[in-house]
């Protein structure tokens, strides 16, 4: 189920990128005006996937100020009161000196 959700989200992202690319002004096959947008947002669905991925690993995940411990079993406990799967979140990563992710924080984006 999770893989299907991730696949759908990836397909949507690729489709949005394709649509955006078709809107760029083109001159002699090259775009003259490429603008880098701000960092993409993470969906609530993706955060749930990361809870699965980081389960029992040494990574702390915080969503809107609530910290999910690495022993939080997303298969047995309800996360819906903490994560709005239909919302978009800003992601920030904290890494150790070796470059390994030790903390992932999400803040809900208000549009």
**Model pLDDT, residue 87:** 92
**Model pLDDT, residue 54:** 78
* Domain tally, the chain: 2
Structural domain boundaries, residue 106: 39-111
Q: Is the distance from CB of 79 to CB of 51 less than 8 angstroms? A: yes
Q: Is the distance from CB of 85 to CB of 102 less than 8 angstroms? A: no
Q: How far is the C-alpha of 63 from the C-alpha of 94, rounded, in Å?
A: 14
Q: Is the pTM of this model over 0.85?
A: no
Q: Is the distance from CB of 65 to CB of 24 less than 8 angstroms? A: no
Q: Are residues 21 and 65 in the same domain?
A: no
Q: Are residues 56 and 85 in the same domain?
A: yes
Q: Are residues 28 and 50 in the same domain?
A: no
Low-confidence ranges of the chain (pLDDT < 50): none
């Amino acid at each position: 189920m999770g893989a299907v959700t991730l696949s759908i989200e990836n397909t949507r992202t690729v489709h949005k990128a394709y649509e955006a690319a078709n809107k760029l002004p083109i001159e002699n096959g090259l775009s003259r005006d490429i603008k880098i947008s701000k960092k993409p947002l993470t969906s609530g669905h993706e955060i749930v996937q990361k809870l699965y991925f980081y389960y029992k690993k040494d990574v702390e995940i915080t969503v809107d100020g609530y910290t999910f411990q690495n022993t939080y079993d997303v298969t047995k406990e309800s996360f819906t009161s903490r994560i709005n799967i239909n919302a978009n979140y800003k992601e920030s990563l904290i890494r150790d000196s070796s470059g390994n992710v030790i903390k992932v924080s999400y803040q809900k984006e208000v549009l």
